[in-house]
Amino acid sequence: MSRLRIASFTNLGYLLHARDFEPIEADMTGKTVVVTGANGGLGLETSRQLGALGARVIMVGRSEQKLREARETVDGAASIEVADLSLMEEVRNAAGRILKSEPSIDVLVNNVGVMLPRRETTSEGLEKTLATNLAGQFLLTNLLTSRLLDSRPARVINVSSGGMYSQRIEPDDLQFAEREYTPTAAYAHAKRGQVILTEMWAERFVDRRIVFHSMHPGWAATAGVAQSLPTFNKVMKPFLRTPRQGADTIVWLAVAEKPAASTGHFWFDRDIAPTHLMKSTKETPEDRFQLWDALVALTGSDLLVR
């Protein structure tokens, strides 16, 4: 619990916690990892570190040019997959191409995320923060689950945020159609949904050798933070974590032995963290099932394996 003090989210908090960290020395040769939002920030750093460990990395993003430039900085075998993960049709098409080209998927890192200054809808009619941060992730994970099962043991890591502590899931209004939209609330609400889905996937696959974890990277200096929260970025810049520090727990969850022994947890700096700090944010079992059913309706797809 002490690790969740606000100061711990900074680079100083990371340096304090990292005193107890062992170096990551896993051999990922022969393993395939899919990383979304891989053209920059935490996704690119994750791709670099896993590539350096020998993994074949499938880098997913919506800009082909940025992905090609990013791939040049990744050691080892890496390929790109261009898709806008806010559009369910593109998620389906990307998943289909990945399933066709990759005989195995050992790790899926759902990292892509946006924080938009105003409420926008996609060409498919979905609120864009929800579509990118939650619905697209839900659909991609469900579509790739069959290949993850074929590749067992496998892992899914969902990059959430400490902001989710401020929100209770509202399954009746996932798209902020009936309440005031603010960038931070919409972002944190979707991140709360990620944590809930992580727990629900973990329950469904508890005996099937796929582990699901979510995590909070702390406050990292990325282009997304600079663009979405310019004032915060300016004030906190000396204290923001480097992308490497922010990605540390993502990579550790992907390769270390300890997280393979459990499932469904929320992690911060390689330690299991609580999912709620206030009673007011706790959802009911009915909320959880309603969230799942709402995402099935929005994406048009449920789990394809039972």
- The rounded distance, in Å, linking the Cα atoms of 181 and 254 is 34
Q: Give residue 1's pLDDT.
A: 42
Helices (H), ranges, the chain: 11-17, 41-52, 64-71, 88-101, 128-130, 136-150, 183-204, 223-228, 230-236, 243-255, 257-260, 285-299
Q: What is the DSSP string of 251-300?
A: HHHHH-HHHHT--SEEEETTEEE-S-SSGGGPPPHHHHHHHHHHHHHHHT
* Strand duo 210-216 + 107-110: pairing: unpaired
Largest CA distance in the chain: 49
- For residue 247, give the nearest of 16, 46, 12, 23 by alpha carbon: 46
Identify the DSSP state of 23: P
Q: Give residue 222's pLDDT.
A: 77
Any catalytic annotation for residue 165? Answer: no
Helix, strand or coil, per DSSP, at residue 118: coil
Residue with tokens 């806010």: 86
Question: Looking at the domain covering 2-299, what would its CATH class be?
Answer: alpha beta
Domain boundaries, given as residue ranges, for the chain? 2-299
Phi and psi for 25 in degrees, rounded to 5? -130, 25
- From 14, 165, 181, 187, active-site residue: 187
* Averages of pLDDT over each 10 residues, the chain, 306 residues: 71 94 95 97 97 97 96 94 98 98 97 95 98 98 96 97 96 96 96 98 92 95 75 80 97 97 97 95 98 97 78
The residues pairing with 60 across neighbouring beta strands, listed in sequence order, are 36, 81
CB neighbour class for 209 (10 Å; exposed up to 12, middle 13-18, buried from 19): middle
